[in-house]
Amino acid sequence: MSETYKHVWGDLARQYNFAGLLKTLVDGDEPSRLALIEKNPISLSYAFDVYCIDTLDEVKKQYAKAIEERHAGKDNKAELRECQHQLQEIKVIQKLTAHVSVANYMKEHPPARPAPQPAPAPARVGPRWHLCGVCGGVGRTRCSSCGGTGTHPRSASRTRYDGSIEYYTEQVPCYSCSGGRITCSRCGGSGQVLE
């Protein structure tokens, strides 16, 4: 039985004995069904309609289970036949109650459903990351030691063949970076930081 049914119409179903009403309708022939409906206009109510739909689902489940048990060797022909009978007759009753009209009886409107709750804000899954503002998401920044050149000038000298000394400047690789870039200290190289 659906949750909606139990919550909204459970009391009504007990008060008007929907189970008994449906059983009598299932077991009856067409004239007795019509007579019963005239006496019990509740059988034309939306609530009873939903009760029939729920019951149909229940019987379908029961039927599927009985078929499984039958395959497993259980002798349940009578149960299977009863399920088939109920499935067939409930459908007939649904058609009947949908089309019959009873004098002085107004078909009910379905009860108002509770107003839908505004959808909650989507739950945040874990911390939110965003692009590192220091390196712009690259993960590396310019080396301050070499100014981004990747090398340092170094003074050197060598002795010419004539014995004089030549002074010159050579470029040596920067000791604190590779190619003028160092790992970003803000994001650790990932390019992303936590909010």
User: Which residues form the interface with Zn ion (CB under 5 A)?
Assistant: 132, 134-135, 143, 145-146, 174, 177, 184, 186-187
Q: Toward Zn ion, which CB reaches closer, 161 or 175?
A: 175
Of 29, 9, 28, 7, the residue nearest 17 (C-alpha)? 9
Closest approach of Zn ion to the CB of residue 117, in Å: 42
Q: Toward Zn ion, which CB reaches closer, 19 or 172?
A: 172
Closest approach of Zn ion to the CB of residue 194, in Å: 12
Closest approach of Zn ion to the CB of residue 118, in Å: 38
Q: Toward Zn ion, which CB reaches closer, 61 or 154?
A: 154
Closest approach of Zn ion to the CB of residue 7, in Å: 54
> How far, in Å, CA of 2 to CA of 178, rounded?
68
Q: Toward Zn ion, which CB reaches closer, 83 or 177?
A: 177
Closest approach of Zn ion to the CB of residue 171, in Å: 12
Closest approach of Zn ion to the CB of residue 179, in Å: 8
Q: Toward Zn ion, which CB reaches closer, 4 or 185?
A: 185
> How far, in Å, CA of 85 to CA of 27, rounded?
9
The secondary structure element, H or E, covering residue 193 is: strand 192-194
Q: Toward Zn ion, which CB reaches closer, 25 or 139?
A: 139
* Per-residue tokens: 3: 């949750």
**Read out DSSP for 128-192?**
PEEE-TTTTTSSEEE-TTTTTSSEEEEEEEEE-TTS-EEEEEEEEE-TT-BTTEEE-TTTTTSSE
Query: Are 25 and 36 within 8 A, CB to CB?
Result: yes
Q: Which residues of 131-152 are buried (b: 16+ CB within 10 A; e: fewer)?
A: ebeebeeebbbebeebeeebee
